[in-house]
Amino acid sequence: MTGLDPGSDPDRYDATKDTAPPDLDPARDPDRYRSPTLPGLLGEGAYEEQREGLEWLYGLLGVLAFLGLVTAAIYLL
C-alpha cells in the first residue's frame, strides 16, 4: 500500500501563490465595513419592528401544530 503525500495534492493551500488583497476602500466596498449585527446585515431601508405578543403566540401555535401533525403522521402511518 502506498502512502498519500499531502504535499502533492493540487488543491492544497499554498501561501506562496496567495496574492495580497488590494487596498480596501470603505466607499467602494461598504459591505465589508457594515456592522455584522442583524440590523447591519439587513441593509439600507430595511426595517423590522419588534413583534407583538400575539404574533409570537400564533407562531408558537403554528410550530406546535406542525410538529403534532408530523408526529401523528409518523405514528399513524
- Tens of pLDDT, residue by residue over 26-69, are 677 766 666 566 655 566 655 666 767 788 899 999 999 999 99
Identify the pLDDT of residue 77.
77
- Tens of pLDDT, residue by residue over 3-34, are 677 777 777 777 777 776 667 776 777 666 66
Domain for residue 67, yes or no? Answer: yes
Identify the pLDDT of residue 27.
73
Closest CA to 44 of 59, 29, 30: 30
Closest CA to 22 of 32, 12, 35, 11: 32
Contact 42, 48 (CB under 8 A): yes
Identify the pLDDT of residue 37.
62
Specify the number of domains making up the chain.
1
Domain for residue 60, yes or no? Answer: yes
Domain for residue 61, yes or no? Answer: yes
Taking the CA atoms of 26, 46, 36 and 15 in sequence, report the sign of the dihedral they define.
Answer: negative
Residues 6+ apart with CB under 8 A from 32: 24, 26
Domain for residue 27, yes or no? Answer: no
Write out the residue range of the structural domain in which residue 71 sits. 51-77
Domain for residue 6, yes or no? Answer: no
